[in-house]
Chains A and B, each alone.
Chain A
Amino acid sequence: MRDETIRDDLKASPRFQLEHQRRDFLGMAAMWSAASAIFVALLGAMRLPIPSVFPESNSRVKLGSVDLFQGVAVTPFVEQRLWVFSDDQGLYAISAICTHLGCLVARQEDGEFDCPCHGSRFDSQGKVTKGPAPKPLLRLALSVSPDGQLVVDRQQTVGPEVRLKV
């Protein structure tokens, strides 16, 4: 008890405060610098797990001559995980990757899409009709390369009304 009173007295004296303030300033500065250095280092390290570019296959893939996609038809591209549809208004591509949890949907005889993993179902236009999928199957952007090849960009999605006119 007595010690504490003395200490309080001491602390109260301006000279003590001044001395301690100076010492504190240095200490505080040192501590804060160390903390911020470590923080910045961690911040930098946080960037490490995500590379600037992912080691992945090209998102843009040529699917073959545009002439092949005429009339009303459905062409599956198993490796690219998509279907190319053509109708009177033009071409569009539907991704086979379920928007729920990334399984591959299967196209049924009636034109609808079934997901094997959690029972999502999509109609022939990719709209969700059943199950947990939060959004319709993705429509992928189609374009025609200068050499007349149909090109799909698997990273770029478009709206359901978009058609590629040939």
Chain B
Amino acid sequence: MGSRASTLLREEEIEEIKKETGFSHSQITRLYSRFTSLDKGENGTLSREDFQRIPELAINPLGDRIINAFFPEGEDQVNFRGFMRTLAHFRPIEDNEKSKNSPASEPLNSRTNKLLFAFRLYDLDRDDKISRDELLQVLRMMVGVLEKVDVEQKMSIRFLH
């Protein structure tokens, strides 16, 4: 009982994604049907708007940064392959994968790649450095503008007469 989505995804493509990301066959077909349901333009790619349509992601303070992680520099579309590559960072590291030592091609879900993903959330201009300013900007995304009001209130005294 393959799902309908699998008929649109070629078997060799699934094999390639499997090799690259480590997801299982059924995980790939199920994520593909999720991908197509998010793809409102029905052109086989997702845009930033497609992601923003997920309410839970839209209210996430770091939502924009997370969405950005799916898009390579200067691009506004991500295909299924790229979508899966980004998701693969969040696959848990299994025991049999830890023992494997292949420095040539590190799996996407390795500890280093997970940390690199988090690092890039702060690295707004993608120059592989986090500046003081960038850190502040991301922090501001997380806490919003409420603090400003707070400071204004706390730092004022009502003068009478």
Do A and B originate from a single complex? Answer: no
Binding site for B on A (CB under 8 A): none
Binding site for A on B (CB under 8 A): none
